[in-house]
Amino acid sequence: MEIITEYGFVFMVLAVIFGLYMTWGIGANDVANAMGTSVGSRAITVKQAILIAAVFEFAGAFIAGGNVTSTIRKGIVDPSGIAGQPEILVFGMLAALLAAGIWLMIASSRGWPVSTTHSIVGALIGFAIAGIGPDAVHWGKIGFILASWVISPALGGFLAYMLMMSIRKFILDTDSPFESARQWGPFYVFLLGFIISLVTLFKGLKHLKLELSVPLSFLTAVVFGLIIASIGWMLIRRVKVDPEADRDYHFASVEKIFVPMMIFSACSMAFAHGSNDVANGIGPLAAVVSVVKSGGEMAQQSALPLWILVLGGGGIVVGLATMGYRVMGTIGTRITQLTPTRGFSAELAAAATVVLASRTGLPVSTTHILVGAVIGVGLARGVGAIDLRVIGGIIVSWVVTLPAGGILAALIFFMLKGMFG
């Protein structure tokens, strides 16, 4: 207990620094994937993508980032075995943050497709086992999280497949695809706004002191969907047929209609990403702050302070603006096979899946879900060539990341314990 009173401020500062480092890394690495699709189809420029990301990553973290943060903060490690030693939890959370950050740095420099989510979860488990004991891990919850890492990309793929099929049925396979696209385009935008806002609103705004009843959630989602659908309708109306391009590729004008629609899917991806991934950085930070502020109380009943969400959102934006934009440019030029109709399907499917996971409090990998969604489009026979070696890489990175993050976290934990304890 004395350690907390003595070094409380130091711990807070360390937690903020490590947390910022993590969120900065998330912004530098992950966001590019989330939005690269829209950049690749030239719906938005890299600069616009950064602007959109700045607003919507932040909004996602702030409005819908609470549940996953809560899971990372108190859903994985059970501190009841260290009653009276709150500093153990503080060391552990600091160690987990630093370990995940270091592991990500190593993996990135080697070019491994490692997920921030997996790193932090692995690190938390590692600390819990080493610092408290195997019983201190909520294995049931871990089971759910692991299952979600398999299920979420599959769900993303399924949704993307269905969306692609519906776009074909209602738009491409009609007498006048361009006219059909003009009619159905706003509907898809509505669907996007409706799903994302419904999942977010549905009993999801407690931390903002805003609890909507079920009918009111639906009503708000419908209204929100209609608002952005009408913005979409105005943008779509301005798209003209391009006979020159159509001669070469008959669906060129249809694709042009989906270009403004990809602005919306980019926004929803940024929102979804913010809502899920910000937790990786600020969950442990929130845990440290809670323990220190309460003078050693580990129950963590206090609500998540808003300034921490703000900090997390800000870290992501800074990461994107300093490093992430370069990656985004690279992706943009490399994924030209993902035309606007395909990109829209993949992004909407991925965003919906991620937001659903965020709402449920499950930390998932946005990148892996997007990969799943693209494969879903491919299963609908819609992509020329998908390199399945990436999936192998992803699976290997899972298997390696959990123990690597865990061992690193354990080492750093004992180091911190030695330094302060």
Partner 1 sequence: MSNGITLSRLFGKSPFAALQAHMIVVLECAREVKPLIEALARGDEARVMEAKDRIFEREAEADRIKNELRLHLPKSLFMPVDRRDLLEVLHLQDTIANTAQDIAGLLIERQMRIPEFMHEPLIALTARCIDTCEHSASVIAELDELLAMGFRGREVDKVDAMLKELNDIEDETDELGVVLTRALFDHEDEMKPVSVMMWYRLIEWIGDLADYAEKVGDRLRLLIAK
The three-class DSSP label of residue 300 is: coil
Q: What is the end-to-end Cα distance of the chain in Å, rounded? A: 11
CB of residue 252 to partner 1, shortest distance in Å? 9
Count of positions on this chain that bind partner 1 (CB under 8 A): 56
Measured distance CA(213)–CA(235) in Å, rounded = 33
Residue 168 or residue 417: which is nearer to partner 1 going by CB? 168
112 binds partner 1 (CB under 8 A): yes
Please select the residue that binds partner 1; options are 383, 402, 409, 416, rule is CB under 8 A.
Answer: 383
| Rounded Cα gap, residues 52 and 140, in angstroms | 37
Instruction: Indicate the residue among 116 and 200 with the shorter CB distance to partner 1.
Output: 116
Local structure of residue 170 (DSSP, 8 states): I
> Distance (Å, rounded) from C-alpha 387 to C-alpha 289?
44
Of 254 and 352, which has the nearer Cβ to partner 1? 254
173 burial type by CB count under 10 A (0-12 exposed, 13-18 middle, 19+ buried): exposed
**Is there a contact between 373 and 156 (Cβ–Cβ < 8 Å)?**
yes
Distance CA 349, CA 36 (A): 15
How crowded is residue 147: how many other Cβ atoms within 10 Å of its Cβ?
A: 11
| 246 contacts 252 by C-beta, under 8 angstroms | yes
| Residue whose structure tokens are 């809560």 | 70
- 119 or 148: whose CB is closer to partner 1? 119
Least CB distance to partner 1 at residue 391 (A):
9
Q: Report the residue from 48, 183, 337, 360 that binds partner 1 according to the rule CB under 8 A.
A: 337
Structure tokens at 323: 């490093």
Binding mask 305-324 for partner 1 (x = CB under 8 A): ------------------xx
Smaller CB distance to partner 1: residue 12 or 391?
Answer: 391
Residue among 94, 196, 331, 356 that touches partner 1 (CB under 8 A): 331
Task: Choose which of 52, 54, 164, 278 interacts with partner 1 (CB under 8 A).
Answer: 164
Other CB atoms within 10 Å distance of the CB of residue 47: 11
Using rule CB under 8 A, residue 253 touches partner 1: no
Positions that interact with partner 1 (CB under 8 A): 28-30, 32-33, 36-37, 107-108, 110-116, 164-165, 168, 172-173, 249-251, 323-324, 326-328, 330-331, 334-335, 337-339, 341, 367, 370-371, 374-375, 378, 380-390, 393-394
